[in-house]
């Protein structure tokens, strides 16, 4: 049983763990538990798995009606979790972070069911910190997580990512053909599935510079900004080689085509870019809990494995930094080598190994 979600950074690792388990045990029964109304309720069934929703949400930082309802939601979710566990009778439960993992893992631990946490970030989330004493194993993606969790429970596995990203060798030519791009330099901009206002604004402000330098662009702007960015791109005149996407489905080909990447610093993006070994400029989002993204990015920047541009500086500096990196082949190669050294390409299988140790 796998629980958690709320964002792609929780959901896609959860699905990767399920896929790795299924690949080893074809007859395994896997049930997901998520939060009603959150994106996992759509994404998990699309991946071929059953999911049950809990009536649960997080606490807001201000007094809201949802906050007043939180105790009622928590009691309801604990009760429903107990019923789900009683009927499904799991051999083990895995929590990937997010609202729903709290009640389910709490009930499972009370019943003596082996429980595993998968923490994606370099700064542990509140739910996982609260659950740490109750579970048997904590799979982490960054070194130094003893500051949050008991050292004897930690396994340094990395974050699970999609299988097609693990091996990009030989895909460059096919990728350029797929996107109808030439062999001129390619910049990829990733703002996440919802998009990032700062990255999109920076791109609009830097369009003429990129065109003048002959840089091609694969630009994922997110669903909230697609109509606006499409209009601005069309208004800029000739936009040959500037490819705008609401969402990128063929991520392996996009990574293969890209020479340099600009990205937010969510845990999943950091892990994918490490495995893809792409020279990357991270622009951490300032709008996430406990500034997770800055901490994720700094873990790489401190190892000379990436470049960091602060969100508040991006509109002035970002595109200039990207163009400078595109023209510096030696720095690209160094960043690529350093970021690849931090990659954990077998994370999903290593997490499955840890689960099996508990249920063997």
Do 316 and 270 fall into the same domain?
yes
Domain that holds residue 290: 164-341
267 carries a ligand binding annotation:
yes
272 carries a ligand binding annotation:
yes
Do 151 and 18 fall into the same domain?
yes
| Mean pLDDT within 257-273 | 94
Do 324 and 355 fall into the same domain?
no
| Mean pLDDT within 227-231 | 95
Give 154-173 pLDDT, tens digit per residue.
999 999 988 888 888 889 99
Spatial contact of 283 and 310, defined as CB atoms under 8 Å apart: yes
- The residue among 252, 44, 279 whose CA lies nearest residue 163 is 252
220 carries a ligand binding annotation:
no
Do 130 and 180 fall into the same domain?
no
57 carries a ligand binding annotation:
no
Spatial contact of 347 and 159, defined as CB atoms under 8 Å apart: yes
Distance, in Å, from the CA atom of 289 to the CA atom of 286, rounded to the nearest integer, reads 9
Per-chain mean pLDDT for the chain? 92
Cα Dmax for the chain: 64
162 carries a ligand binding annotation:
yes
315 carries a ligand binding annotation:
no
Do 235 and 266 fall into the same domain?
yes
Residue 193 has pLDDT above 70, yes or no: no
Give 102-154 pLDDT, tens digit per residue.
999 999 999 999 999 999 988 888 888 989 999 999 999 988 899 999 999 99
Residue 336 has pLDDT above 70, yes or no: yes
8 carries a ligand binding annotation:
yes
Do 153 and 182 fall into the same domain?
no
106 carries a ligand binding annotation:
no
63-67, 253-257, 298-302: lowest mean pLDDT where? 63-67
Residue 5 has pLDDT above 60, yes or no: yes
CATH number at residue 330: 3.40.50.2000
Do 155 and 194 fall into the same domain?
no
Distance, in Å, from the CA atom of 283 to the CA atom of 264, rounded to the nearest integer, reads 5
- The pTM assigned to this predicted structure is 0.85
For residue 279, what pLDDT is reported? 98
Do 11 and 127 fall into the same domain?
yes
- When divided into structural domains, the chain yields a total of 2
Cβ burial of 64 (10 Å; 0-12, 13-18, 19+) is exposed
269 carries a ligand binding annotation:
yes
The 3 state secondary structure assigned to 46-65 is HCCCEEEEECCCCCCCCCCH
Do 114 and 250 fall into the same domain?
no
User: Which pairs count as long-range contacts for 193-196, CB under 8 Å and 24+ apart, including other chains?
Assistant: 193/8, 193/222, 193/223, 193/247, 194/222, 194/223, 194/224, 195/220, 195/221, 195/222, 195/223, 195/224, 195/225, 195/226, 196/222, 196/264, 196/283, 196/285
| Mean pLDDT within 268-284 | 95
The H or E element spanning position 93 is strand 93-95
Q: Helix, strand, coil proportions of the chain in percent (round to 5)?
A: 50, 15, 35
Do 13 and 145 fall into the same domain?
yes
Residue 51 has pLDDT above 60, yes or no: yes
Do 172 and 114 fall into the same domain?
no
Do 193 and 46 fall into the same domain?
no
């Amino acid at each position: 049983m796998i629980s958690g979600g709320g964002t792609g950074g929780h959901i896609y690792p959860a699905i990767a763990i399920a896929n790795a388990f299924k690949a080893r045990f074809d007859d395994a029964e896997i049930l997901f538990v998520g939060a009603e109304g959150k994106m996992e309720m759509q994404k998990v069934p699309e991946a071929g798995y059953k999911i049950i929703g809990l009536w649960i949400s997080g606490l807001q930082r201000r007094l809201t009606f949802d906050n007043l309802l939180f105790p009622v939601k928590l009691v309801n979710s604990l009760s429903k979790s107990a019923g789900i566990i009683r009927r499904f009778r799991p051999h083990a439960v895995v929590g990937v972070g997010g609202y729903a993992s709290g009640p389910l893992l709490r009930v499972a631990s009370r019943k003596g069911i082996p429980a595993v946490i998968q923490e994606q970030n370099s700064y542990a989330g509140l739910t996982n910190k609260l659950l740490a004493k109750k579970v048997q194993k904590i799979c982490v993606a960054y070194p130094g997580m003893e500051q949050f969790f008991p050292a004897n429970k930690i396994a340094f596995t990395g974050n699970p990512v999609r299988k097609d990203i693990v091996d990009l060798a030989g895909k460059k030519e096919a990728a350029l053909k797929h996107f109808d791009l030439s062999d001129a330099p390619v910049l990829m901009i990733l703002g996440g599935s919802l998009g990032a206002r700062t990255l999109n604004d920076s791109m609009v402000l830097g369009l003429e510079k990129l065109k003048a330098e002959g840089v091609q662009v694969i630009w994922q702007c997110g669903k909230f900004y697609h109509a606006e960015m499409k209009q601005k791109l069309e208004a800029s005149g000739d936009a040959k080689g500037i490819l705008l996407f609401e969402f990128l489905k063929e991520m392996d080909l996009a990574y293969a085509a890209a020479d340099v990447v600009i990205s937010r610093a969510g845990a999943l993006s950091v892990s994918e870019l490490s495995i893809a070994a792409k020279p990357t400029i991270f622009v951490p989002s300032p709008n996430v809990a406990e500034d997770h993204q800055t901490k994720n990015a700094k873990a790489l920047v401190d190892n000379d494995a990436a470049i960091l541009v602060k969100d508040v500086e991006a509109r002035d500096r970002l595109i200039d930094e990207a163009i400078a990196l595109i023209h510096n082949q030696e720095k690209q190669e160094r960043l690529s080598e350093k970021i690849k050294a931090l990659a954990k390409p077998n994370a999903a299988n290593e997490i499955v190994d840890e689960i099996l140790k508990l249920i063997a």
